[in-house]
Structure 1
Amino acid sequence: MPRVIAVIGLSVFTAFVSFTPVASADESTPGIAAEKPADGPSVKVDEGYMVPYTLRVPGTDEEVEMIPVPGGEFLFGSPEDEADRRDDEGPQIKVTVDPMWVAKTEVTWGLYKEYMELYGIFKEFESSGIRAVNDDNKVDAITAPTELYDPTFTYEYGEEDDQPAVTMTQYSAQQFTKWISLVTGQQYRLPTEAEWEYAARAGTDTAYSWGDDADDIDDYAWFFDNADEGQVAVGTKKPNAFGLHDMHGNVGEWTVNQYTEDGYVAFADKQGINATDLVKWPEVPSPCVVRGGTWESDAEDLRSAARMASDDEEWKSEDPNFPRSPWWHTSDPSRGVGFRIFRSYKPLAKETLTKFWEAQAEDTLLDVESRMDGGRGGMGVIDKDLPKAIEELNK
């Protein structure tokens, strides 16, 4: 059984939670209820209670279930005596985590394809001379992923609406979160490594969220031994104690961190650091950190502390473009890489949030600029009027 560590701010949480999302007390702040719900997870905060809610992405029929996760402290990384531990998983750092909402599952193809369609929409806006991007509004603009060079690679194991989306770059996942943030007015983003691990552990300090023994892995995860035909529909295995599915296996999940071969040595003297501050912001496009393991991974690579380093040289080896795409990977193991979205209870400062939404590596920025200058990219302004503008365009 998993050993449970202290978690601060927890109101109602039981293992393998199931629930009906609760309406917000204030629709301008989704996920906040004035009163504690009769059942299901909730987290006591100043305004009332953080509760589950359904994110409905404006202009689409797609929804994301967001789960409240209590704040607390935990030891980030793995202890030296953990079986199958690697050197890049330590030293352990005591980390403080603020309350947050975490998507119940990975981002699905159903939703990610809505983001992909923005490429054509932005091109239509550009040719029609509407919603032009300029120096005054560029801060609220995103790039949309170009059309897939070879869809058969990305979609070989399916493109069903309920399957997790895969093969996108870290940058593309960041721009996706900026899109849904600006169109909804809420701050959605990728997690830091520490936030991801905290959510995956769900109050435990064992190798997996269910304990140290991998014998029960079939109940919780799709991995090498039981998923030989690619990613599986999200949410089909048991959730962890926070109610989050697929934190182990199915597809690995992007974080914002650059991979550090020496683990967390740079943070060894910063015990008690906040999870949003424990970040090595990328200085190069890769290696960056993917967490959780994939459907191709062995059991030990699904441990809560296990890290996977991206490799653009390998993951883009079949990309014929120059520069190579900043939005897509073309080669394995990227068909096992996706992401999920997080949202802090307390909004982040604008300058911090920008780092979560935009590429920090100069080479990535130059590749995007080259694509845009060559007319091979789509860029558009994102705001709450975008869905109406798209509707007008399609009339």
Structure 2
Amino acid sequence: MRFLLSSALSTALAVGLAGCTPSPPAQTSNGTAGQPADPAAEADPASGSGQGTVTIAGDDAAEDIQQWTPPRVDRQGRTLAQLRRAAEQAFAQGHLYEDGDAAVPLWLAVQEEEPDDRQARQGLQRAKQKLLQQADALLQRPLQQREALAEAGRQALVLLTLAPKDEKVRALQGRVETAQRVVAYNRAGEDDLRADRIGEAGDGAIGNFREALALDPNNRRARQGLAAAESGLIRRAEDAARIRDFASAGAWLAEASKVRDSSPTIADAFERIEQIRAAALVQLRDGGLHDLTTPQGLKPAREKLAEALRIALPGDAVVAQLRERIELATHYGSFRPGQVFSDALRDGGRGPQMIVVPHGGFQMGASDTEPGATDAERPSHYVRFERGYAMAITEITVGDFERYVKATNARPRATRRGHSVVYDERSGNFIRRSGVDWRSDYDGGRALGNSPVMHVSVRDAENYATWLSEQTGRSYRLPSEAEFEYAMRAGSSGRYPWGDAGLPPEGSGNYTGSKDVSPSGRHWHNAFVGYGDGWWGPAPVASFQANGFGLHDMGGNLSEWVADCWHASYRRAPADGVAWFNPGCRSRVIRGGNWANAPEQTRAAWRQSQDSDTTSARIGFRLVRGI
């Protein structure tokens, strides 16, 4: 019988059966069990070693024991009568099978010469009964389980050789194997606990103890092991809370709650962690209020507020008090350039991770001499932001968008229409394909949760922003063209988002490169020569380096919807960077290159008109938030 066990369990079983072989099996080069390392174990049983052997085979040698080979009996100068008397004497002394002078090998030797020998047959029957009794007693021994199981295992192997079809023998073999596996799983679980491998993902200590309980539901040792594992996870939760990492504390406590059903220790631990959180928030609030009474106290007060927001649950009154006092004192938000945050949602989750873009000014658009530029990108004009704004660090993901769809029962444009534009590997073209919507990847397959959401129209993006605003009580929206280009350039003024170099820096983004290869071996005809990013199609968000403002994929991966209506040039464009929007317009703007754009379309000033109902494998979006 073959069992698929963990390596720790295999080792434990091998130890449990060590009495049957001179040494554990050596591992051969092809991964199957080899011969024992001990020269005595390698010897032929007929060579005179006088020891019994255990034959093993298969990929799981320690678990795939086939039979017991009786030790060699020295028959030289001994008659059958002498062998019978020796067997009876050995049986009377309880010397049943261990070596060539034991009762079972002697009776088997008699049977070799006289197959119908009645005394030998009866003797072997008595030995079988005796071994069954001894093995049963060993299995019920509460202490020294390893030694008892090892001995019971050896006896079961002897019995299998004597009576392989006997139901009692087969039942004993099953009990021995089960008991050995339970002990091995428990030992492996205890080893994992000592090494802090608790196994919250289902492996490690928890997995081993659960395997033991699956075999023996009332096993006390395994139940105690699960209780210890639960305590270990609770300890991690409380340790995290003490350093104000309440997200990890909650995660560890959630894992601990899965270990045992209805454990009262979880509720107690939750109360302790919430007491730690409450004390930390009061300390931060009191410290922030004191900071505001000092001449230079605004910065430390803001820092305390940020820390309180990070660890507080949504709607916490203590945090709200501190935030209100700071806003009243400064008439300005409690943020700083480069600060990363995410707003709490009313449903208990968190919004997209945002980063505060510093205020400042830049020259928007393309110069008259820029290669590849069009009139739609001119005239170049100066735009200044008097106040910073927060922008999503990455494109909105499939997972982000799924939360909105489920919460509102929304039916985005491609879902209602039943199709979208995808890349077709067979033809190498973009085609319209049925059954594709926001859940789909660039080729129509299922998208990963951390992939940027595509196949969404500009109205789908705006509806998501409206929902997020309602959830957080903050103002989320699509960025204006000016906000997008300013954030994409991140202080640079070159032709491309990274500057004037004609080749993207290694690892800077998902662009069309000559080294990129499609699943069927296609290459781009118009690409950055010598560049490759390892992706044919959009990559998961934040797969590449962030730009100088801490934003990912602004110039590549997916082009992105912005709030502006399409205008054929920048004549009379707003100078303060707000969206240039005309109510009722159908042609909207996308900005930023994508995974399937020509190099000219990856320029920082590139812009393109799209119908507002367009959905495609090349267009996604991100949001900004006022601060």
TM-score normalised by length of structure 1 = 0.61
Is it true that 1:266 corresponds to 2:572 in the alignment? yes
| CA drift at 1:205 | 1.1
The correspondence for 1:254, drawn from 556, 561, 566, is 561
Q: Within 5 Å, give how 1:384-395 maps onto structure 2.
A: none
Matches within 5 A, 1:18-167: 24=309, 27-28=319-320, 46=332, 49-50=335-336, 51-59=339-347, 61=349, 63-97=351-385, 98-120=387-409, 145=412, 147=415, 149-150=418-419, 152-154=435-437, 155=440, 156-167=444-455
How much does 1:45 deviate? 9.0
- Find 1:231's aligned residue among 520, 523, 538: 538
1:117 partner SS:
helix
Larger radius of gyration: 2
- Where relative contact order (Cα < 8 A, 6+ residues apart) is larger, the structure is 1
- Does structure 1 conserve the Cα–Cα contact (< 8 Å) formed by 2:372 and 2:600? yes
Structure 1 Cα separation of the partners of residues 332 and 620 of structure 2: 34
* Matched residue SS, 1:173: helix
Matched, 1:197 2:485: yes
| Structure 1 residue 240 corresponds to structure 2 residue 547 | yes
> Cα offset for 1:218?
4.5
Residues 323 and 334 in structure 2, CA contact (< 8 A), matched pair in contact too: no
Whole-Å separation in 1 of the counterparts to 2:502 and 2:626: 31
CA distances 1:344-388 after superposition (whole Å, capped 9, x unpaired): 22xxxxxxxxxxxxxxxxxxxxxxxxxxxxxxxxxxxxxxxxxxx
For the residues of structure 2 that align with 1:291 and 1:33, how far apart are their CA atoms?
A: 39
SS in 1 for 2:470: helix
CA distance, structure 1, for counterparts of residue 501 and residue 467 of structure 2: 40
Q: CA deviation at 1:79?
A: 1.3
Contact 1:293 1:308 (C-alpha < 8 Å) held by counterparts:
no
- Displacement of 1:309 in angstroms is 1.4
Code of the aligned partner of 1:238: Q
Aligned residue in 2 for 1:275? 577
Report deviation, 1:22.
5.8
Q: 1:279 to 1:47 in 2, by over 3 A?
A: closer
**Equivalent position amino acid for 1:291 in 2:** R
Asked whether the equivalents of residues 193 and 255 of structure 1 are also in contact (C-alpha less than 8 Å), the reply is yes
**Partners of 1:341 and 1:309 in 2: CA distance:** 19
Whether the 8 Å CA contact 2:366–2:377 is kept in 1: the answer is yes
SS at match of 1:176: helix
Using a 3 Å threshold, how does the CA distance of structure 1 residues 104 and 111 change in structure 2: closer, same or farther? same
What is the TM-score normalised by the length of structure 2? Answer: 0.40
Shift of 1:299: 2.2
Higher percent of residues as helix: 2
Residue 178 (structure 1) aligns with:
466
- How far is 1:209 from its partner? 3.0
Partner of 2:189 in structure 1?
Answer: none
Name the CA distance, whole Å, in 2 between partners of 1:33 and 1:303.
45
Q: What's 1:338 paired with? A: 620
1:283 positional shift: 3.2
| SS class of match (2:352) | strand
1:304-326 Cα shifts (integer Å, max 9, x gaps): 2110211368x4xxxxxxxxxxx
Deviation at 1:199, TM superposition (A): 0.8
Residues 29 and 78 (structure 1), Cα distance of their counterparts in 2 relative to 1, 3 Å cut: farther
Q: Distance in 2 between matches of 1:239 and 1:340?
A: 15
1 CA distance for matches of 2:621 and 2:461?
7
Percent of pairs with identical residues: 27
CA contact (8 A) 2:341 2:354 kept: yes
Residue 178 of structure 1 contacts residue 189 of structure 1 at CA under 8 Å; is this kept in 2?
A: yes
Matched residue type, 2:571:
V
- Return the offset for 1:188: 0.8
Contact 1:33 1:48 in 2 (8 A): no
Query: Distance in 1 between the 2:625 and 2:512 partners?
Result: 31
Q: Give the direction of change, closer, same or farther, for the CA distance of 1:33–1:248 in structure 2 (3 Å limit).
A: farther
Question: What is the letter of the counterpart of residue 600 of structure 2?
Answer: E
Contact 1:196 1:255 in 2 (8 A): yes
Measured in 1, the distance between the counterparts of 2:483 and 2:453 equals 21
> Distance in 2 between the 1:223 and 1:339 partners?
17
Unpaired runs of 5+ residues, structure 2, are 1-305, 311-317, 420-433, 517-533
Q: Quote how far apart the aligned CAs of 1:300 are.
A: 2.1
Structure 1 residue 116, shift from structure 2 partner: 1.8
Counterpart contact for 2:398–2:450, Cα < 8 Å:
yes
CA gap 1:75/1:295 in 2 versus in 1, 3 angstroms: same
Mapped to 2, the partners of 1:295 and 1:30 lie a distance apart of 45
1:144–1:28 CA distance, 2 compared to 1 (3 A): farther
Question: Which residue, out of 281, 289, 294, partners 2:594?
Answer: 294
> 1:102 is paired with a residue of what secondary structure?
strand
Does structure 2 retain, via aligned residues, the 8 Å contact 1:219–1:237?
yes
Shift of 1:29: 11
Matched-pair contact (CA < 8 Å) for 2:474–2:626: no
Distance 1:254 1:90, change over 3 A: same
Q: Shift in Å at residue 266 of structure 1? A: 2.7
- The aligned residue for residue 85 of structure 2 is none
Per-residue deviation, 1:210 = 2.0
Q: Report what 2:19 is aligned to.
A: none
Q: What is the alpha-carbon distance in structure 1 between the residues aligned to residue 601 and residue 322 of structure 2?
A: 35
Name the structure 1 match of 2:456.
168
The alignment yields a C-alpha RMSD, in angstroms, of: 3.1
User: Residue 29 and residue 74 in structure 1: after superposition, are their counterparts in 2 closer, same or farther (change >3 A)?
Assistant: farther
Paired amino acid for 2:495 = A
The one-letter amino acid paired with 2:397 is: T
Shift of 1:243: 0.3
Aligned AA (1:65): Q
Contact 1:89 1:264 survives alignment (8 Å): yes
- In structure 2, relative to structure 1, the CA distance for the partners of 1:266 and 1:48 (3 Å cut) is closer
Aligned residues: 269
